[in-house]
Homo-oligomer: A and B are copies of this chain.
């Protein structure tokens, strides 16, 4: 299978962590989101993913999967060990809801196409764009801190002593928080979980700086 990603995309980063946790190494293709107007907008890439977003995963039979959460759930269903979701349906829903609090309510508001629109089509100055990012990252991660405390305050990871889909989504988003200068000092639980994840090679090897397409 062939994974199409970009080192800095947090959606691609989530998938890299999941592949690493499962011990699977897909072939990779790099889609440079900032080169020549964005390689993700070219017809060749849109033929794979009409959304023009990374990631995309080409399966061996030619089926193309898109959307990081759908890709990770597919990976978990086809390669069950180690599981990325608990067995109990209500616990599965809590883990998925935490992941979606990141993937639906934080990340889409500060991805490249939205920030480009704010800058180029609305004409916002960079400081207002940065304030926008900090607002949604700050509010969203504060809610995640509350959810993490409610559901697993004494475990190594967000929902237990093994990493789950929740941690896979949290870690790249905490990376964005650092990048945009969000103050996470009031989120000790999220920082503790992020630090625990960083000790695992599956997470450490997935960071943007260690990818072949990484730039300074």
Contact = CB atoms under 8 A, between A and B. Distances in A.
Contacts of A107: 104
Contact of A103 (B50, B61, B104): B104
B67 A143 contact: no
A25 to B, nearest CB: 19
A109 B65 CA distance: 23
A135 B117 contact: yes
Q: Could you say how many copies of this chain the assembly holds?
A: 2
A174 interface: no
A109 B106 CA distance: 10
B122 A67 contact: no
Contacts of A104: 67, 69, 100, 103-104, 107-108
A78 B77 CA distance: 18
Contacts of A195: none
A105 B51 contact: yes
27 contacts: A50-B143, A50-B147, A51-B101, A51-B105, A51-B140, A53-B105, A61-B90, A63-B94, A65-B93, A66-B97, A66-B101, A66-B147, A67-B97, A70-B92, A70-B94, A70-B100, A71-B97, A73-B93, A73-B96, A77-B92, A100-B103, A103-B104, A105-B108, A108-B108, A117-B135, A121-B135, A122-B124
